[in-house]
Structure 1
Amino acid sequence: MNAFRRLLVPLLLLKAAALAAYLLLIRPRLLRWGATRGETTRPLPGDDIVPRPHVAATRAITIDAPPEAVWPWLAQMGGHPRAGWYAYDHITNDDHPSADQILPGLQRLHVGDLLPTPPVEGGYTVERIVPGRELVLAIRAFHVTVSWTIVLLGDEEHTRLLFRQRLHCRPGLPGLVYLLLSESADFLITRRQLTTIKTLAEKAAHKP
């Protein structure tokens, strides 16, 4: 028993140190990937949907293309039969490949439109839209409320894309499970999504 305790105590201390390092050093960087301090603190449309978030992430990327070249890729987002989420399609789009071209028939979004999130039923609802500049989406489920805000800032040559996600879970096991699972996957999916949009927009904008 004493030998077991001698092994257990260092193990517990190591786990506690690893958890502290993640919470204090790694997690904050993941939640603000690519964004400046000013971008993480500035108010954005849609913040009021989740006024007291359990998780708040603001991420950003610079795209070498004007906002009008980036917007069409955002306007057609959504799970199959829309253009996809530009991330890991086997996870976020029921294994249907995301579009690699602009689809004219999917360019008109309206408040209240539903953007599917297969294989899960339902999806994100369009809460606010300013074509070419702002897109606010939200999910309101029984255990969680999530808001997505995408804002495009830029000039004739470049776009700064700001992406903010805010999440609030209801008390109880379903909300806790969703929180733990979503935070672990959210960074990887969002980074893939933003880098893919950057690649697609730059390629289309610079096509001869």
Structure 2
Amino acid sequence: MSLRRGLRQLPHQLAALLRDLPLFAFAPAIRGRHLRWGATHAEVAARLPGDDQVPGAQFVATRAIDVAVPPAGVWPWLVQVGAGRAGWYSHDLLDNLGKPSATEIIASLQHLAPGDWVPMSPFGTPSEKTAFRVESMRPPELMVWTKPDSVWVWQLTATPAGTRLVTRVHVRYDWRRPWLAVFGALLMEFGDFAMQRRMLRGIKQRAESLARRGSSGPS
């Protein structure tokens, strides 16, 4: 079933990727803007957990989006993300081997806890090179993922209209290993904006769609 669904989705995935090609290609040219996409001046300036964990980070992005669903309805979508899990709600051809990201809350993936892995790669056993580890979480308000060279924070704040979802990532390129540093820099400087923008929009679309259908519980 998942294979057939993936094949059916392939034309749509290709079309979405083509539409975002300019974002990939020209991301360095709009770096100052995309590093704060959707975020207010106050959100960019605000302190978040993890801000001091990656000293010397060369890539720091704070991005945000409004979701017309309370934090409790957004949180489950974050808990289940990851390769080999619910996907990343982004360009599945690039980060999920073409397997469509989940469009439902999956009950078996709702038990994430500090110390667990959030895999970035569908290959092999998760490790600090291929996955983030959950450092801390405060449902449904805050989650912090870490790797030796990066930290990724998710903050959900209740608003009159639903949720303000803010995410911040710090990445340090380790030039003691030049080839890995170059690879990481290319991924972040060219790929991160298009992928994370689509992910934030994917979370918003899924959470709001499920709320409109009158359910926020896992399937």
TM-score class normalised by the smaller sequence: 0.7 to 0.9
Distance in 2 (alpha carbons) for counterparts of 1:192 and 1:153: 20
Matching residue within 111, 116, 122 for 1:108? 111
Gaps of 5+ in 2: 1-25, 125-129, 215-219
Q: Provide the aligned length of Structure 1 versus Structure 2.
A: 182
Per-residue deviation at 1:119?
A: 4.1
CA distance in 2, matches of 1:52, 1:187: 20
Choose from 199, 206, 213 the match for 1:207: 213
Which of the numbers 79, 86, 99 marks the counterpart of 2:83? 79
Offset at residue 153 of structure 1 (A): 0.5
1:94 aligns with 2:91: no
User: Structure 1, residues 184-205: CA drift from partner, whole Å, max 9, x if none?
Assistant: 1000000000001000011112
Q: Check if 1:124 corresponds to 2:132.
A: yes
Higher strand share: 1
In the aligned structure 1, how far is the partner of 2:161 from the partner of 2:201? Answer: 17
Hey, what does 2:147 align to over in structure 1?
Answer: 139
- CA RMSD across the alignment: 1.8
| Counterpart selection for 2:203 from 173, 191, 197 | 197
Alignment of 1:175-194 (within 5 A): 175-194=181-200
Which residue of the partner structure matches residue 26 of structure 1?
A: 30
User: Which has the higher relative contact order, 1 or 2, with Cα contacts under 8 A spaced 6 or more apart?
Assistant: 2
SS in 1 for 2:103: coil
Deviation at 1:156, TM superposition (A): 5.8
**Secondary structure of the residue that 1:48 maps to in structure 2?**
coil
**What is the CA–CA distance in structure 1 between the aligned matches of 2:73 and 2:40, rounded to whole Å?**
23
Q: Per-residue deviation at 1:180?
A: 2.6
Q: Are 1:148 and 1:166, in contact at CA under 8 Å, matched by a contact in 2? A: yes
Residue 22 of structure 1, CA deviation:
7.8
TM-score when normalising by structure 1: 0.82
Task: Provide Cα deviations, 1:31-67, integer angstroms capped at 9, x if missing partner.
Answer: 0000011101111012122132101000000011111
Query: Which structure has the greater CA radius of gyration?
Result: 1
Q: Distance in 1 between matches of 2:37 and 2:27?
A: 15
Amino acid at match of 2:135: E
CA contact (8 A) 2:83 2:120 kept: yes
Q: Is the 8 A contact 2:27 2:34 kept in 1?
A: no
Q: For 1:43, which of 43, 47, 52 is the aligned residue?
A: 47
Matched, 1:61 2:65: yes
Question: % of aligned pairs identical?
Answer: 40
2:8 aligned residue: none
